[in-house]
Chain A
Amino acid sequence: QKEVEQDPGPLSVPEGAIVSLNCTYSNSAFQYFMWYRQYSRKGPELLMYTYSSGNKEDGRFTAQVDKSSKYISLFIRDSQPSDSATYLCAMSNTGGFKTIFGAGTRLFVKA
């Protein structure tokens, strides 16, 4: 079993839809949770960085962490064609010495 599971998609939605991206994990020691966005032929860009459980909002993006279920989510409101990219979840333990990445979910937002 992988430490982090992420559905690779692809996920296709119409413009304006609410997108939900998810990851599950098995290591209860993870304390820091991240979401990255990667456009084709570019490096990943950090979108959200959260510690422990709870929600964090930044513009159209909301990250949720449920440590009891070992489940994290990224919601994108009012999705735009420019949101079309691969989204990677990542997590690390206290101290952040080892970061584990999900496989990435490819998202397509159709105009």
Chain B
Amino acid sequence: GAVVSQHPSWVICKSGTSVKIECRSLDFQATTMFWYRQFPKQSLMLMATSNEGSKATYEQGVEKDKFLINHASLTLSTLTVTSAHPEDSSFYICSARGGTRDGGSGPQHFGDGTRLSIL
């Protein structure tokens, strides 16, 4: 099946630092990648959608200067949390979606998430 690798799985850093999270589709080309945030016992909250080679589309209320997304290739997207603060602590999950034989879009396949803790 489709495999999405997300790295790192857990990061702890000091307030004010920037953190980069990588998301790779290992066995398919991801035309679209998504970044989600999830709080404990809550559902997924879509932060942004990115297509390869294009600027990301951010959901309402998500600061694009705070959460920088780069989708430079069909297999790699990165999320950089700039000048992170304790309120940015959360579980961040990426997903990737490829195409289908009939030219449509397939289902999203998720990475295992990154636990970000800002001290």
Q: Which of B43, B91, B104 contacts A96 (CB 8 A)?
A: B104
A44 touches B44 (CB 8 A): yes
Contact pattern, B 42-69, Cβ under 8 Å of A = 1, otherwise 0: 1110000000000000000000000000
Cα-based distance from A104 to B109 in the complex (angstroms): 17
Q: Which of A32, A45, A96, A101 contacts B44 (CB 8 A)?
A: A101
Smallest beta-carbon distance B24→chain A, Å: 13
Q: Which of B104, B106, B113 contacts A42 (CB 8 A)?
A: B113
Q: Does A103 contact B (CB under 8 A)?
A: yes
> What secondary structure prevails in chain B residues at the interface with A?
loop
Smallest beta-carbon distance A111→chain B, Å: 23
A96 touches B6 (CB 8 A): no
Task: Report the interface size for chain A: residues with CB under 8 A from the other chain.
Answer: 23
A96 touches B97 (CB 8 A): yes
Q: Does A60 contact B (CB under 8 A)?
A: no
Tell me the B1-35 residues at the A interface (CB within 8 Å): 1-2, 4, 6
Q: Which residues of A contact B6 (CB under 8 A)?
A: 43
State the total of A-B contacts with C-beta under 8 angstroms: 53
Q: Does B115 contact A (CB under 8 A)?
A: yes
**In chain A, what residue has the closest Cβ to B45?**
A101
Cα-based distance from A46 to B5 in the complex (angstroms): 15
Q: Does A99 contact B (CB under 8 A)?
A: yes
Smallest beta-carbon distance B113→chain A, Å: 5
B1 touches A41 (CB 8 A): no
Q: Which of A42, A94, A99, A106 contacts B108 (CB 8 A)?
A: A99
B104 touches A88 (CB 8 A): no
- A residues apposed to B, CB below 8 Å: 32, 34, 36, 41-46, 49, 88, 90, 92, 94-97, 99, 101-104, 106
Contacts A41-B113, A46-B109, A99-B107 known; 17 new A-B pairs at CB < 8 A: A32-B107, A36-B110, A42-B112, A43-B6, A43-B95, A43-B111, A43-B112, A43-B113, A44-B93, A44-B110, A88-B43, A94-B104, A95-B105, A96-B104, A96-B105, A96-B106, A101-B44
